[in-house]
């Protein structure tokens, strides 16, 4: 089926094919409807995670966490970036988070020099104050 091939085409390219007359209106609508279904898949999926919402704007994509309402930007190229980890595994590792909070309770100054989740522990700890 022609639609299956077009599902892998980027949204902008599909629009251009329709605007130029290469893709008939009803076929374009059907394909775009299928492509937009991923939004509803995320809608259902995040209910089981620590992600409250996923925000897509003109400039960036970020998630907002359920418990502390922290905004975390998504990086298109980083497979292990914290917001992606939260989507993949439903939450921040509970043991790691608990340990960081416990250690923070004994400190007045904390340096967060993480490589994978830059700044997340500092951001989470700031919510304790």
The answer to whether residue 117 scores a pLDDT higher than 60 is no
Q: pLDDT-based confidence at 1, cuts 50/70/90? A: very low
Angle between helices 25-45 and 11-19 (to 10 degrees): 160
d(CA 47, CA 116): 25
The verdict on pTM exceeding 0.85 is no
Domain residue spans of the chain = 1-46, 49-129
Average pLDDT, the chain: 83
What are the tens digits of pLDDT across the range 50-84? 999 999 999 999 999 898 788 888 888 988 777 88
Would you say 68 and 52 are in contact if contact means Cβ atoms under 8 Å apart?
no
């Amino acid at each position: 089926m022609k639609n299956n091939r077009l599902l892998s085409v980027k949204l902008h390219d599909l629009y251009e094919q329709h605007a130029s007359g290469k893709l008939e209106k009803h076929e374009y609508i059907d394909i775009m409807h299928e492509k937009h279904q991923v939004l509803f898949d995320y809608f259902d999926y995040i209910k089981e995670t620590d992600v409250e919402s996923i925000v897509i704007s003109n400039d960036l994509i970020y998630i907002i966490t359920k418990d502390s309402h922290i905004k975390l930007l998504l990086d298109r190229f980083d497979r292990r970036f914290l917001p992606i980890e939260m989507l993949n595994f439903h939450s921040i590792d509970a043991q790691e988070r608990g340990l960081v909070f416990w250690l923070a309770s004994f400190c007045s100054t904390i340096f967060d020099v993480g490589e994978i989740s830059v700044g997340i522990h500092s951001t989470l700890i700031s919510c304790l104050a």
